[in-house]
Amino acid sequence: MNREPIHVALFALVTACGSFATKSRILRHWTDVPSAEMPAAFLAHKKDGAIYAGKGMPPKWTMTFDVYFYVESSNPDVPPSTMMNSIMDALEAALAGSPADPFNQTLGGLVSHCRIGGGDIQTDEGTLGNLSVTIVPIEIVL
């Protein structure tokens, strides 16, 4: 398995889901991202796992990532979740795969499956005031 091309492809897919002022594979806490650097997207590799099917069989690898989206609304009458919803809709569409292989994102053939999974999507829905943070678990099966 060659991990770096998978990281690069997933990062490209995630950051194409919005017009992000900041995008990085180095996670920063939302309190360390000023308003001028939002919306922001961060990709954090969480863990790898291997399942062995039996003696003499190669392992089936899984990789888990967390995608962090930060948005801030400059208008007090517009909830930040309005902006977050469009980013999440774009992410869901990007993970849907292609018409030839619907509901199966393969990151250009690098992996068997890339999908939202491995836990719940965490969001504050604007309880942080004009800032919204969403953490999306992404599961990759090789």
What are the Cα distances from residue 116, in Å, to 8, 10, 31, 75, 122? 17, 12, 25, 30, 12
- Residue 126's pLDDT band, with cuts at 50, 70 and 90, is low
For the cut 80, the answer to whether the pLDDT of residue 125 exceeds it is: no
* pLDDT reported for residue 97: 79
Ranges of beta strands (E only) in the chain are: 22-24, 40-52, 59-72, 97-98, 101-102, 113-116, 122-123, 131-141
* pLDDT reported for residue 127: 78
* Chain segment 47-106, per-residue pLDDT in tens: 999 998 888 898 999 999 999 999 999 888 888 999 999 999 999 999 997 777 777 899
- Residue 38's pLDDT band, with cuts at 50, 70 and 90, is very high
Written as six digits, the tokens of 8 are 């690069």
CA atoms lying within 13 Å on the CB side of residue 124: 16
Residues with Cβ within 8 Å of 29's Cβ and at least 6 positions away in sequence, in order, are none
Considering the chain, what is the average pLDDT of its residues? 93
In this structure, what DSSP letter does residue 7 have?
A: H
Written as six digits, the tokens of 6 are 């998978």
Q: Give the mean pLDDT of 32-54.
A: 95
Structural domains in the chain, sorted by start? 3-141 (3.30.2000.30)
Nearest partner of 134 among 75, 73, 66, 78, judged by Cα = 66
